[in-house]
Amino acid sequence: MERTLVIIKPDGVQRGLIGQIVTRFERRGLRIAGMKLIQIDKALAGRHYAIHKGKPFYEPLIHYITSSPVVVMVLEGNDAIEIARRTMGATKPAEAAPGTIRADFGLEIGRNLVHGSDGPDTAAFEVPLFFAEDELLSYKRDTDRWIFE
């Protein structure tokens, strides 16, 4: 089972889209291993987006991600990272495939509703930023036999 971090960003929370976004991932068959509503502070935002430090969009990104509560969740399943990213759609909503979160709800790259880990190394770095190991659960659902081979 692979795990990935997904963040419903401030625009998703403020627009009342939490339920619809979570539903998209659940309908794909991904399990929620952990989820919480938090306010990201500047220190945590800086650690999370450290790879972008020095880029022109870094400071606006830090300001934005700390401007409102977000929902952070860890999803798990076979190929969870790729499935989550395809469910979210391309970073730029205008380029996202119809039926994806960003295509259906987003218009601008800076307000694209969700963040997701882009690979196993990123997920391994991001998940512990937001969750202690004892906050994550692995469990079986009765429907898993209809989702996973």
Would you name the residues annotated as active-site residues? 115
Cα distance between residue 61 and residue 82, in whole Å: 24
CATH number of the structural domain spanning residue 24 = 3.30.70.141
Q: For the chain, how many structural domains are there in total?
A: 1
Q: Give domain status of residue 31, yes or no.
A: yes
Q: Write the pLDDT tens digit of every residue in 22-65.
A: 999 999 999 999 999 999 999 999 999 999 999 999 999 999 99
Q: Is 75 left (phi over 0), alpha (psi -120 to 50) or beta?
A: beta
Range of the domain at 107: 2-139
Q: Packing angle between helix 80-88 and helix 18-28, nearest 10 degrees? A: 130
Q: Give domain status of residue 148, yes or no.
A: no
Q: Give domain status of residue 145, yes or no.
A: no
Q: Write the pLDDT tens digit of every residue in 75-132.
A: 999 999 999 999 999 999 999 999 999 999 999 999 999 999 999 999 999 999 999 9
Cα distance between residue 89 and residue 97, in whole Å: 6
Q: Give domain status of residue 89, yes or no.
A: yes
Instruction: Measure the CA dihedral 65/100/17/109, to 10°.
Output: 30
Q: Give domain status of residue 147, yes or no.
A: no
Q: Give domain status of residue 146, yes or no.
A: no
